[in-house]
Structure 1
Amino acid sequence: MSSEQNLDFSILPLPRIHFGAGKLSCLPSSVSAYGRTLLLVTGRSTLRRSEAASGLLEEFHRSGIEVELLEVAGEPSPELIDHAVELGRKRPFDAVAAIGGGSVLDAGKAISGMLLQHHSVERFIEGRPGVLLHDGRKVPFIAVPTTSGTGSEVTNNSVISRVGPGGFKRSLRHPAFVPDVAIIDPELMVSLPREVTVSTGMDAFTQLLEAYLSPFASAYTDALCCSGLEHFARSFEAASGDGAASVAVRADMAYAALMSGIALANAGLGIVHGFASSVGGLFDIPHGTLCATLLAEATRENIRQLQAKGEPSVGLSKFANAARILTGKSFSSEAEACEQLVAKLEAWQEQFAFPRLGEFGMSEEDFEEIIATTRSKSNAAPLDAAAMRRILAARV
């Protein structure tokens, strides 16, 4: 790989991070550092599904913390956030905590950021008409992920969506929205169903690969991405199969997701996440599923574009290095490594039966609208409309 690395970079703040088995026990004391009243945001089955989390409310009671429980379902919409904020304003809260998957964490993050504001959340969402600049005031926020995917526990944005005609999937964003505390406990993840493990894992992997290949990557984000890729490669298939109940395997996946979150916040993401924004507003496709089904073809197209330049490329070197990390093999040439990277992604596509976009109602008639609203300034290579159409057409 090329020795050239960008050493000119800035880093967003990080939360106080507690990582490891049993670290959920840090939550009551983390809340107590801010006060005695907590708004706890969870998924509908979060506290019931996890043995580690099931006794949490009793532990809060023993610690003298008053808890208001708010259960949310699905990806957060402006209406969900506004409703939750209205409920949350009925009493002052010293802190907000979210325990759940990426959508639950995004909901908690947005609620934390809106409790001290006086407009609908939609007025602050990027790319919406009449957008307002958020002043960064929020209620302290603690993130506790129960999946290994989005890395929302360390990012400064909350993804808000409205699905359907005229829909959107965009971010509420401010540097102050980085969680104050992140507690990553792999014991919370051992009960994840296989399909959730696969889709969230592919989201984390896509974020690692796209941040690694971003033109805004640096030596700092490269180190995070390579470390995350190594842990992902070691445990993805195990987590999706016979090793699902292993805390060590789940720790690898949680670590990969954590690294992906820090990397994307500082380097950006590529075309797959560009499509996630434009497609996600039109069709009800789980985010990780969309990443999984598009990644092989997007990687093929990016490699094709870089090779067409006919000159040495840091991007091609990075794709080749990612292939070595994923497969654990050495290759005779950069071209062979890139070819084997695509082959590995296609093998996962078959092994885990990633659904096609057509199964969610997309057709070629939708491509023009999707392409017109897709942005990917952090992609590995510039892609024109024809290139984006090829990626979509291969998976419709």
Structure 2
Amino acid sequence: MPTPRIHFGAGTLSKLPAIAAAYGRKMLLVTGRQTLRRSPVASGMLDELSRAGMEVACLEVDREPSPELIDEAAALGRETPFEVVVAIGGGSAVDAGKAISAMLLQRDPVERFIEGQPGFTPHDGRKIPFIAVPTTSGTGTEATSNAVISRVGPGGYKRSLRHAAFVPNEAIIDPELMTSAPPELTASSGMDAFTQLLEAYLSPFASPFTDAISCSGLVRFSRSFELACGSGAGDVAVRADMAYAALMSGIALSNAGLGIVHGFASSVGGLFDIPHGTLCATLLAEATRENIRQLLASEGGESGLRKFANASRILTGASTGNVANDCGRLVELLEEWQARYAFPRLGEFGVSESDFDAIIPATRSKTNAVPLDEAAMRRILVARV
């Protein structure tokens, strides 16, 4: 899978005007609803772009992009021949910008190209050049080939618009943009990045390459997650570690896939309006416990158990000398975070056991650490409803 041209480090946002101008002068700027208000660094960028001669049209998004949002933005964009799309914001804003850049040259609605939808047609890959500027450390979408599109409610879905060409042309990752993220957002988005690192590491399609990427991200995450959620929130070096972990998670998942937590993120997230990072955070401890239980009971589970144990050693900085015990310590740490950061239960968003018969058959996890049957998936959900 290709990767974007990456510009990483404090102050790299200042490169945006010159980078964008290389693609053209007419820009669509997609931002989160609070992005420019929350970040003084980002808010000054509009003036910088204007001084650089860019003609900028702005679009704010306040939630995960819906097909209606993408179609409306693409229709408006066709009236203005944008030469470059830039997204500054969290995962939802970057996904929205990525999808809009992919749809500006199309005439059909975006649902035609969303995986798993009736009448699905593969996208031809044509797009307007796209620059991703994340302001949170979570989804890693600045390095992936898909944009997640959601229609939430009965019959809803959360699925991907995907093509290798949709990997952003450029990714500007400036940790100074992330110092203003509130603690609850830092915790939930951080858990999303961690879940992606862990699930890609445990994937049956993992490779020495993705293992190295995942473990590199886990090391940075382990030393800075708790600091980012607390006393180190304003520390640019801490935020750089978290941004690096998220970036590595995007590269790893693009090449190895994800597991059951992200399977539920699609099936549960299509039915209930739950922020993606929150959904990952609330399910990860139970999903890890179930995966380890299944690996302990299966033939050939030793490799997966060793990887869980290694992740535990990275996170805790120590080993018990026993693989099973190290796996247990990993679950304990995840439960500790679950309590400390008060990740809400599914029931707080309206999910009940009566919904499981719709959720479980719709959940796919072919790249999970170990195959899970319906009973195993039900145990994960029951524990967090």
Separation of aligned partners in 2, 1:240 and 1:167 = 32
CA distance in 2, matches of 1:36, 1:77: 28
What SS does the corresponding residue of 1:89 show, helix, strand or coil? helix
State the SS of the aligned residue for 2:158.
strand
Determine if contact 2:86/2:133 at 8 Å carries over to the other structure: yes
1:356 maps onto 2:345 in alignment: yes
Structure 2 partner of 1:160: 149
- C-alpha change, 1:157 and 1:312, in structure 2 (3 Å) is closer
Partner of 1:281: 270
1:45 aligns with 2:22: no
Greater mean alpha carbon deviation, residues 39-48 or residues 318-327:
39-48
Counterpart in the other structure of 2:53: 64
Task: Report deviation, 1:312.
Answer: 5.6
Q: Deviations over 1:74-108 (max 9, x none)?
A: 11000011111111111101100000000000000
Cα deviation for residue 54 of structure 1 reads 1.4
Mapping 1:15-54, distance limit 5 Å: 15-54=4-43
Deviations 1:201-221 (A, max 9, x none): 000000000000000000000
Separation in 1, partners of 2:229, 2:157: 31
Aligned counterparts of 1:107 and 1:50: Cα–Cα separation in 2: 20
Q: What SS class does the counterpart of residue 223 from structure 1 fall into?
A: helix
TM-score (norm 2): 0.99
| Counterpart-to-counterpart distance in 1, 2:148 and 2:169 | 18
2:329 pairs with 1:340: yes
Which one-letter code corresponds to 1:120 in the other structure?
A: P
Question: Which letter does structure 2 place at the counterpart of 1:302?
Answer: N
Task: Confirm or deny that 1:368 pairs with 2:357.
Answer: yes
Structure 1 residue 43: deviation in Å?
1.1
Normalising by structure 1, report the TM-score. Answer: 0.96
Q: Does 1:387 align with 2:358?
A: no
Task: Tell me, yes or no, if the aligned pair for 2:295 and 2:301 is still in contact at 8 Å.
Answer: no
Give 1:6's aligned residue: none
* Local SS of the residue matching 1:109: helix
* Aligned residue identity for 1:333: N
Superposed, 1:209-228 pairs within 5 Å as 209-228=198-217
| Map of 1:136 onto structure 2 | 125
Q: How does 1:1-396 map to 2 (within 5 A)?
A: 12-309=1-298, 311=300, 313-396=302-385
Deviations 1:91-133 (A, max 9, x none): 1011000000000000000000000000000110000000111
Indicate the RMSD between aligned Cα atoms, in angstroms. 0.7
> What is the percentage of aligned positions where both structures have the same residue?
73
Alignment partners' CA distance in 2, 1:59 and 1:356: 43
Report the CA distance between 1:311 and its aligned residue.
Answer: 5.0
Equivalenced residues, count: 385
Per-residue CA shift, 1:116-160, capped at 9, x if unaligned?
000000110000000111100000000000000000000000000
